A and B are shown apart, each in its own frame.
Chain A
C-alpha cells in the first residue's frame, strides 16, 4: 500500500533567510490588526457590552423580518439590531443596556425590556435563546477575560523559562503575542462576534501555538547539544526542517477536526471554530517564521564553552536540569 506523505523526507528549506520577509510582513500585519482593533469597531457580544440577545424561531417556519424589525423598534429599548439567520425562520434581536438611575434600576429595566419583547412576539415565535447580561456582570466578564489571557501568557513564560533558557521563553512569548494580536485583528476585520467563547478560542490558540513552538524549540535544544560548531542559522533551519513533517501533520489533523465543527457544529460555535482555524494557521506560521528566527536576534549561540556531556542518546526528559544547553545572553557573551 502506498502511503500518503505530505512533506517529503529531508527537506532543506532555508527558513531563516525568510525572516527578512516574514518579520516585516508580520510587523505590518500586526500594525494593521492593532489599527483595526482601535478604528474598526469590534463586534463585541453582550457578554462584554451588556445587553440582551434574543433568538426566536417563527412558529410557522417563516419569519417576517420587516414586521419584526418595525415592532422591535417600537418597543423603546434603545438601538435594536434585528437579524435573520438559518433556514427555519430564525430571527435574532439584540439591544444594549437600558438606562436607569441606580444599578438596581438598570438591571430591572433590562428585565422589563426583555418582557416587552416576549409579549410582543410570543404569539408567532418560539423563544429559542434569551440572554440578558447586566452592567455589573459584563464588566466582570471583560475583566476575567483579559486577566485570563494575560495570566496564561505569564504562566507559560514562567514554565518555559524553567524548562528552557530565557531566550526560548521570550521567543515563544513574542510568537504568542503575534498570534494573539493577529487573531484579534481577525475578529475586527471579519466582524465575527467577540464574546466569552472567543476568549476560550484565543486561549486555545495560545495553547496550540505554544505547543507548536515548543516542539520546534525542543529540537533546537537537542541539536544545540549535538552540533557544537554549526552556525546558528543552519542549526535553526535543520531543527525546523526535521520537525516540519510533524508540524504540518498536526496542523492538518487539527484543521480537519475544526472544519467539521465549522460545517456541522451549528451556528452557535461557528465563530469559535473559524477563529480556531485562523489560529492554527497563524500559530503554525509563527512557530516556524517568528519564534525560531527571533532566537537569532535574542543572541542564541551555538557551542558554549564547556561541552556538557549530555550524551546524544540520553533521554532529554530524564536529565533536564543537567542537560540544559548552555545558552548565554548577550551581556555575558565573550568578546570575539
Chain B
C-alpha cells in the first residue's frame, strides 16, 4: 500500500514536471485536447513560470504621490464648501482659507453659522471601509471655534481611503495602457498601501513602458484667458508650443479627458504632421459644442498634465463631438498620447521608486549557466554518493532524482516562479537532500557495528535517524519561511525552492529509500551491509 503511494507520488511528479520541458504550442494543444467533461487540472499542462531575471523583462514599482492626493482632496473640499455657501446664500468677508490639510471659513453671523454647520457635516461622511475600525472614522473633521472660525481638515483615515481608491483606479488604468502595448502576460498588482508593481516580460527597451506608466494623462480643455480676466480665475501654465514660455489660461475646465470615448493617432490632412483624433461622449460633445459656439474667435488651450499642448483658435462651433489635437508630435508621441487618452487618466501622479530590467540575452545566459551548474552538481553529488555507499548510494541517487522532479512538479502545480536564485536553491538542495540519506546510512552502520543483526540495524537506523531529520529540517524550514515572507522577486524564488526542497526531501529520502531497501532486502536476502 505504502509502496503504491510512493510510486504514485513519483509518477505524478514526473507527469506534472513534464510540461515544463515542452514548448508552449505543445502545451496549448495538450490543454485543448482535454475533453470538456473533465476538469482542466486533471491532465497536467502547466509549465513553470520563469522569473523576469530568466526570461528578461521589466519590473517597475510605482508609488502614488500621497501629497498630491491630499492636495486634490483639499481642492474638492474647497469646491464643496464654496457650493454650500452659495446654496445657503452666505457671503464671506474673508473668503475660504486653504490650509495644507483642509480649509477654513470665518462665518461671523450666528444664524448663518447654525444654518451652515449641518450642511458642512454632510461632507464629513464616515470612511466606508469593509472593516469596523475604519468605518468609525470620518474622512473630514470639523472644528468650530467661538469666534466663528470653522475649520475642516482631511483626516488620516480620509487620506488613506482616498489613496486606496486611487490605487484601485490606477491599476485599472495601467492595465488598459499596458495591454495597449501588446506585450504578453503583463502582471499588475497592488503592493502595500500606496504602491503598484508592474511586471512586463520580454521588453528590450523599457523606456516606452515607463513613459506610459509615469504619465498622469489628465486632459483638459480650457479657454486661454482674456487680458481683462480677474487674476484669481487665471493661472500661468507652461506651453509646449512657444519654446516652453508660459501662457495665461482660465482655471475653469470646460471639458475633461474623462468625456472622451475614443482617441486614435493620425496625420493632419494639410500639414501631414502626426496628430491625435478624438471623439467625445454625448455629454462632452454637448459641452464642447456649447462652449465653442459661445467663444468663436477665441483661442482655447488643450492642457495635458498642467502643460498646454496646443492652443488653437476656435474658427467655428464644433458640434460633431469630434476633434483633433496637434502639438508637434512625433509619430510615437502621438501613438502614446492616443493610448493614454483611451485608457483614461491616472487619479494621481505615480513615481517610479524601483526598476529592475533584465535583457533577454542575459536571461538566456542565466538559464544556460543555471542548467550547467545543476548538471555538474548532480554528477558530482551522485558520483560521490555512489562511491561512498555503493548500492545504497544508488538508492539515494534515485531518491534524489525524484526529489528534483518533485520540486519542479510542485512549482508547476502551485504556479510559483523560477528565478536564478531559485535555481541556486535547487542546486543547493541537491547537496543537502542527500543529508537525510547520509544520516540514515551512517546510523545503520553504527547500529550494525554495535552488534545488531542486519534487519534490526536497518530498522533502528531508519527509526533513530528520523527524529534528527525532522529536527534539522524544521530549523532550515524556519529560515526559509522567513525569507519567503520578507524577500521579494528573485529572493522569494530562492525561498520557494528551498521550502519545496525541504518538504520533498523528507518524502523521497526517507520513504522512497526505505521502500527500495525493503525490496532489495526481500529479493536479495543479503547477510551483510553493502557499505
Contact = CB atoms under 8 A, between A and B. Distances in A.
Contact of A272 (B205, B424, B477): B424
Interface string B482-495: 11001110110011
Contact size range, B: 35 or more
Interface in B245-285: none
Contact of B467 (A127, A128, A200, A316): A316
Nearest to B475: A210
A273 B424 contact: yes
B478 interface: yes
Contacts of B351: 104, 107-108
Given A3-B389, A108-B351, A137-B354, A148 B376 contact: no
Interface in A229-288: 242-243, 245-246, 249-250, 252-261, 263-266, 268-269, 272-273, 276
A276 B428 contact: yes
Contacts of B464: 222, 315-316
A246 B439 contact: yes
Interface string A114-132: 1100100000001111111
Interface stretch (B25-33, B306-314, B379-387): B379-387
A203 B442 CA distance: 28
Interface stretch (B171-179, B290-298, B361-369): B361-369
Contacts, number: 248
Contacts of A218: 467-468, 471-472
B442 A208 contact: no
Given A218-B471, A257-B432, 18 more contacts: A3-B387, A3-B390, A129-B358, A133-B354, A152-B479, A152-B482, A155-B478, A159-B475, A197-B494, A203-B480, A207-B478, A208-B476, A215-B468, A249-B438, A256-B377, A256-B384, A263-B376, A265-B423
A253 B352 contact: no
Interface of A: 1, 3-6, 9-10, 55, 57, 104, 107-108, 111, 114-115, 118, 126-134, 136-137, 144-145, 147-148, 151-152, 155-156, 159-160, 163, 196-197, 199-200, 203-204, 206-208, 210-212, 214-215, 218-219, 222, 242-243, 245-246, 249-250, 252-261, 263-266, 268-269, 272-273, 276, 313, 315-317, 320
Contact of A148 (B428, B471, B487): B487
A148 B427 CA distance: 23
Contact of A211 (B207, B359, B475): B475
B119 interface: no
A249 B354 contact: no
B468 A214 contact: yes
A316 B361 CA distance: 53
A323 to B, nearest CB: 10
Contacts of B438: 246, 249-250, 253
B421 interface: yes
Contacts of A207: 475-480, 498
Contacts of A145: 486
Which of B53, B464, B470, B471 has its CB near the most chain A CB atoms (within 10 A)? B471
Nearest to A320: B467
Contacts of A108: 351
B442 A249 contact: yes
30 contacts: A1-B390, A9-B445, A111-B355, A127-B359, A128-B359, A129-B356, A130-B206, A130-B356, A131-B356, A136-B353, A137-B61, A137-B353, A155-B482, A160-B475, A196-B491, A199-B483, A203-B479, A203-B482, A206-B479, A211-B473, A211-B475, A253-B384, A253-B438, A258-B428, A260-B380, A263-B373, A265-B423, A276-B428, A315-B464, A320-B467
Nearest to B489: A196
A5 to B, nearest CB: 7
Interface string B103-131: 00000000000000000000000000000
A197 B421 contact: yes
B409 interface: no
Contact of B362 (A128, A132, A317): A128
B470 A317 contact: yes
A199 B471 contact: no
A114 B58 CA distance: 14
B449 interface: yes
Top 3 nearest A-B pairs (CB, nearest first) are A257-B431, A266-B369, A317-B467
Contacts of A243: 442
A258 B380 CA distance: 10
B471 A272 contact: no
B66 to A, nearest CB: 10
B365 A315 contact: no
Contacts of B359: 126-129
A211 B487 contact: no
B399 to A, nearest CB: 13
A316 to B, nearest CB: 4
A210 B431 contact: no
B446 interface: yes
Given A260-B427, A269-B424, A163 B471 contact: yes
B466 A148 contact: no
Contact of B354 (A132, A156, A160, A276): A132
A147 B491 CA distance: 15
Contacts of A156: 475, 478-479
B463 interface: yes
A268 B468 contact: no
B478 A253 contact: no
A227 to B, nearest CB: 14
B355 A130 contact: yes
Interface string B438-452: 110010011001000
B452 to A, nearest CB: 11
A218 B442 CA distance: 14
Contact of A107 (B353, B372, B476): B353
A127 B357 contact: yes
Nearest to A316: B467
Contact of A204 (B387, B470, B479): B479
B478 A265 contact: no
A111 B62 CA distance: 12
A253 B476 contact: no
Nearest to A148: B486
B521 interface: no
A215 B387 contact: no
Contacts of B439: 215, 246
B63 interface: yes
B358 A128 contact: yes
Contact of B482 (A151, A264, A317): A151
A134 B353 contact: yes
A159 B477 CA distance: 11
Contact of B476 (A210, A246, A276): A210
B430 interface: yes
Contacts of A252: 384
Nearest to B351: A107
B401 interface: no
B184 interface: no
B529 to A, nearest CB: 11
B435 interface: yes
A270 to B, nearest CB: 10
A296 to B, nearest CB: 22
Given A107-B351, A107-B353, A253-B381, A4 B432 contact: no
B354 A257 contact: no
Contacts of A144: 486-487
Contacts of A260: 373-374, 376-377, 380, 427
A151 B487 CA distance: 13
Interface in B335-366: 351-359, 361-362, 365-366
